[in-house]
C-alpha cells in the first residue's frame, strides 16, 4: 500500500521560510515521480512543484518560481519543499502526491496517490 506522509507545515510571518517533508512508502521501486499541490479555502487545487523520476527534472508553478525549491532524497524516500519569501497568498493546505513513472507535462500531471496534507499559514 502506497502511503505519503507530509509534515512541516505551520504558522509563519510573511517573508519567512518553512520546509515541508513527505515520506513515501509502499512503492516497489524508486521509479516514481513526486510533487506538491496546494489548496486554499474557496480555491481550486494548484500545482506547486514536481520532480520527475527519470532524470530528477524539477518543475514549479508560476506563483512559486524563484521562492520554492523541491528536492528528493531517494535513500530516505523523502521529498522536500523549501519555501522561502513566503507570502500570505501561499496560505493553503499542501498535499504531497506521487505516481509511478514519469509525466510529460507538469501542468497536466494527475498523480494517483495523495498524502493527507499539511497546513501552511502565512500571516501578514
Q: Are 7 and 20 in contact (CB under 8 A)?
A: yes
SS (H, E, C) 18-82: EEEEEEEECCCCCCEEEEEEEECCCCCCEEEEEECCCCCCEEECCCCCCCEEEEEECCCCEEEEE
Per-residue pLDDT reduced to its tens digit, 31-73: 899 999 999 999 999 999 999 987 889 999 999 999 999 999 9
DSSP helix/strand/coil, 108: helix
Percent of the chain with pLDDT over 90: 85
Main-chain phi, psi angles of 117, to 5 degrees: 90, 150
Amino acid at each position: 500500500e502506497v502511503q505519503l506522509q507530509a509534515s512541516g507545515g505551520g504558522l509563519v510571518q510573511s517573508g519567512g521560510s518553512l520546509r515541508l517533508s513527505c515520506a513515501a512508502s509502499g512503492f516497489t521501486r524508486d521509479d516514481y515521480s513526486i510533487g506538491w499541490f496546494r489548496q486554499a479555502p474557496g480555491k481550486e487545487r494548484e500545482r506547486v512543484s514536481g520532480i520527475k523520476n527519470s532524470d530528477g527534472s524539477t518543475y514549479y508553478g508560476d506563483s512559486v518560481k524563484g521562492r520554492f525549491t523541491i528536492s528528493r532524497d531517494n535513500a530516505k524516500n523523502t521529498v522536500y519543499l523549501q519555501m522561502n519569501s513566503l507570502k500570505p497568498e501561499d496560505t493553503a493546505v499542501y498535499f504531497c502526491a506521487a505516481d509511478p513513472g514519469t509525466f510529460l507535462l507538469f501542468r497536466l500531471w494527475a498523480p494517483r496517490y495523495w498524502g493527507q496534507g499539511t497546513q501552511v499559514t502565512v500571516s501578514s
